[in-house]
Structure 1
Amino acid sequence: MNSRRVLWSALGAVALVAVIGGAWIFSLPPASSAAAPPAITQDERDATVAALKPPKRQRPLIAIIGINDATETTDYLMPYGILKRADVADVVTLATKPGPVTLFPTLKVEPQATTAEFDAQHSDGADYVIVPAMSRDDDPDALQWIRSQSAKGAIVIGVCAGAKVVGDAGLLHDRQATTHWYSVKELRGKHPTMRYVRDRRLVVDKGVATTTGITASMPMSLTLIEAIAGPDKARAVGREIGLAEWDARHESDAFKFTRPFALTAIRNTAAVWAHEQLGIELKGGVDEVSLALVTDAWSRTYRSRAVTFASTADAQHSRGGLRILPDQVAADWPTARLLPANENVKPAEALDHALAGIAARYGTDTADFVAMQLEYPKHPTP
């Protein structure tokens, strides 16, 4: 009886949306346009790399800050995993307070230090501060620390909607910037002196860098490696993770709130009887990039949530030494709801495989819906 009530409540909600919001839904564009992104000139590429050169140390110190309550999964883990793999800088994950960082929409990690501990060890500050999207843009501890690091000469990098946090820290005034497609209007409204740049995955201006959607932290990290250690090192890491070519090019018009996007969100949310929890085994040595991309994607379908499981509650050390806490203690997981570990897939290819799996399980509309949230131009599965 209870499940039937939930079902009818969901259907009633959908009917209400259809009646009240029908005109709004059909006012949305039927689909996003897709065209070849404009090319990036060599001069622009060189200028971007030059603007990201290490400001202090020969071997830079990179700090990735999060708040303990809901910092975006891929924004936090992907730069860490790629930069640690490159081994061209010292990379540390931080939280504003003691204790684990709960990532959104999935995973929980133990940061390597608090911001206060970092300051005690590095009074001259970091070379780079990477700012993910957070559950709130105005966390006072995060904003104060970001401002203080900028004042000490750090290059501040806002990943995706982390640009909103950077903006609230007062660092977007009279600067060019970009952000996730969904946050552009809000960011421009709050920071009218900011100059929004279209069709770029990465924008750097006067010691502040910003990126577009969640997946942009991959080309951003490789560009940062190039700035630190040169193009050969960046290309070598790119090949290792499965991204042989990259630059700042982007097609902004391909990402927007469309009718299929809205209808997929409504349909998948309403299908409460078909919602499921999918498990991925958490093992020592897991690649942070692959784990982040796979769990993030599967947790954005509005049909499923990805959780990690392990035989004990102990944290598992990732490939780069980060301690990741399992969501559940379990010896195994039902095969029908078990996500592949992607152990033999290069990290940059893990998302394509996840999207192909989502399309097979829930349909192409849902895979497109997830890719739109991640601001990711889909590619054929290798």
Structure 2
Amino acid sequence: MSTRILFLPPDGADDARLLDLDDGGRVRAQATLPPGTAAPDAPDARRTVLVVPGGPVRIEQLPLAAHSEAQALAAARALLAGRLARPVALHVVLDADHGAALRTVAAVDADSLRGWLAQAAALGLRPDAAVPEALLLPDPDAGAVHLFDAGDRWLVRGDGMAFSAEPGLARRVLGDRQPSRFDGGFERLAARALQPPLDLLQGDFAPAAGGRRPSGRRLAWLAVALAASPLLLVAAQALRLELAARALESRAVAVLDAALPAAQGGAATAGTSDGQAGRLRALREPRAFAAASGALFAAVAARPGTHLVELEYARGDRLRALLFHRDARDLEALRGFLRGDGWELVEGGSVDVAGGLHTGLVLEPAA
């Protein structure tokens, strides 16, 4: 039996690289696949792993203390959505190290992942797993940095970093850090892909026999998330609304520009514009809620021992929450975390409860 490892190039017009490995990681066959060609047959291949270009994939290590994987994933999505200024639908996945203090998290534009899967399909392959190329380098020891020279780009993995970039940019990112060269070529990288540390094909992208998972399976996962934490489900829904609201707002502005050109003027137009402006403000409300709740969920997830008890938001109002925490140091840590993201935490009254305190909070944009 063999495993097929498909390396996609950063430029879709370049050749892909396909290696067939046995269970011990030894190369049995390899081929270069120009665009439009079909991969050679491999009757004994039981699995295909897709190695995707690392440039479009953001990889981080985040503290995601949570009671379940659903909570950890929701916290990661909220944290990354607050950091990445991209008007796209992010696909976020976690590594399988459930008990680790720091989890490896990868985020990529969902359309980019669909494009890579389409490239694999055009070569006649359907991947069972997908991994960013930089994560095929060894796990870094404290302070160590591993580097693989792929010619047109460097793959780098170190303590708190994992990325792919053209050599000049990679040198600037590394600064004074001296990397250790990872030798052995793509064959050695392919051997590490037999057990990838993280699989991008999760959630809606998870493969299943005969096709994608049926919608009922996805609904079951949503039910599990709901049972685990209604508040986290609200945050995830808010983030989806934020992304959808951007598209809706752009569409609404285009319609208004066509229907109410500036040349019309007059009192009637002004009155109509006021009404339309109100509708646009309503469109922006999900974005305001998503930004505030995403920042708050990320801050709470990064502070072990704290969790949200209640969450309240009314149109045009600030975000209000009830927080469980142990002492004043938790509040200061949350305040510093949120201030770094442009939010001000206003503290209300506290009530003693078993094991800690319940404190009312208001979140508003920093002045």
If the length of structure 2 is used for normalisation, what is the TM-score? 0.24
User: Higher Cα Rg: structure 1 or 2?
Assistant: 2
The structure richer in strand per residue is 2
- Larger RCO: 1 or 2 (CA < 8 Å, sep 6+): 1
